[in-house]
Chain A
Amino acid sequence: MKTKLTLLILFAGLLFSSCSKYPPSSIRLTEDLVIYTKYDTSTSFSKFHTFYISDTIKWIDSHDSGYYTDSKAQAVLNQITQNMTKRGYQRVAANNNPDLAFMVVAVKNVNATVYYPGWYWGYPGYYPPWYWGGSGYYYPYYPAYITTYTTGTLMIDMADLTLLTVDSKIWIRWNVYIRALMTGDHTISQIQQCIDQAFNQTKGFSAN
């Protein structure tokens, strides 16, 4: 009898140890697009009226950086512009004192740790100093748990130029991270939908 019980317990133990907690590999959540946004809750979006957005997207990877200027980049930038216009903001040129400015960066398969809060770390040239006139960019708040980039990520930062300080710190009022761009077979249409979602999931984002 003891032998039977021992065997039963042994079987149970083997079964326990063979029961996986996590989903099977067929459910590949890591290949799905994720849209993460965060805004400065102390900011009223209605105090801004104009914005500037470049016609290029900065890209960076582990070794190099450059600019996207092709039709896909324009589609992404146009989608941001359309969403801003729909919310009552007016696009203006960089030299026309915009209230807000967008910085759009694509990170390609980089494993990098970002240290928040404080000064944005660096990828040299992440922000175009020819535009900002300085090299320091300050986040008044910080994303709580975006600490590494392990997949392709599109990052959109919205800077508040009305508070540009003498030491060239720029206050970021809104962040967007669209992740997993390069892990699956994602179309530009899907990326545009993600941009729409980023705006839609930010409460109170309107000039009116």
Chain B
Amino acid sequence: MKKIFVLMAFVILTTGSIQAQQKTSVGFAPGSYYTFSWNTTFTLGDFNDWVSNASPAGFDIGGRYLLDKGLTVGFNLGWQRVSQNYGYQTYYDPDGSAITADNYRFTWMVPFQGVIAYHFLPDKLVSPYLGLGVGGDYMEHHLLVQEIDAYTTRWDFSLTPEVGALIKFGNFSNWGALVAFNYKWTTNKIELYKGDTSKDLSMLNLKVGICLIVR
């Protein structure tokens, strides 16, 4: 992991210096931009019953392309993991069996979405936006009981309204920061511990990242 980040920092810094030499005007609306964000997940509803801990284990990459004025379209692709150790709990089965054990639950997911967003001030230093993501997830829900790993895998449909801001590091900088907050609703469900009652899994995501801006 450390090597990856060092290599990444090197490329970012090198690319930034090359881009800086090409500046020609005061302020600009991005033709496109690419983001890499650290994503913290806060589960909601049934998903929160499954794992209630907030999880900083997640990242997201995205791209946006300017269509007209402040309107952009693009994509998001990510990885997230939420987990929690619940200590000793007892599970009953109708066949007469019961097991009491330390149990550890986690969900591992790969979200992917197409995104449409509107930037209110696309040529300014701080460019707030509203967006909507439409796509899906691949999720794995795991219940670990000692060495027993009970899990299910599911694909889903997802909707993600998002509010955020692109913050350029300077009027002419090709680099900036991204701060965004979104609510994500999915059709995913968990059947490992409560039957079909854990459905329509939803979550809040806080994304903080860097942004490569292309004119």
Contact = CB atoms under 8 A, between A and B. Distances in A.
B103 to A, nearest CB: 8
Contacts, number: 102
Given A27-B85, A39-B96, A18 B4 contact: yes
A5 B140 CA distance: 29
B59 interface: yes
Interface stretch (B129-137, B141-149, B163-171, B185-193): B141-149
Nearest to A43: B96
A35 B104 contact: no
Contact of B212 (A4, A23, A37, A144): A4
Nearest to A201: B98
B62 to A, nearest CB: 10
B95 interface: yes
Interface stretch (A6-14, A83-91, A100-108, A118-126): A6-14
Contact of A35 (B34, B100, B103, B110): B100
- Interface of B, helix, strand, loop or mixed by DSSP: strand
A116 interface: no
A180 B95 contact: no
Contacts of A40: 96
Contacts of B100: 34-36, 197, 201
B181 interface: no
A181 B81 CA distance: 31
A202 B106 CA distance: 28
A29 interface: yes
B202 to A, nearest CB: 22
Nearest to A177: B99
B131 to A, nearest CB: 20
B101 interface: yes
Nearest to B15: A4
B214 interface: yes
A202 B98 contact: yes
A15 B147 contact: no
A115 to B, nearest CB: 18
Contact of B146 (A14, A23, A179): A179
Interface of A: 1, 4-5, 7-9, 11-12, 14-16, 18-19, 21-23, 27, 29-30, 32-41, 141, 143-145, 150, 179-180, 197, 201-203
9 contacts: A9-B61, A15-B4, A19-B79, A19-B81, A21-B140, A30-B146, A32-B101, A39-B96, A201-B100
Given A7-B11, A29-B146, A37-B98, 4 more contacts: A5-B34, A38-B95, A141-B96, A197-B100
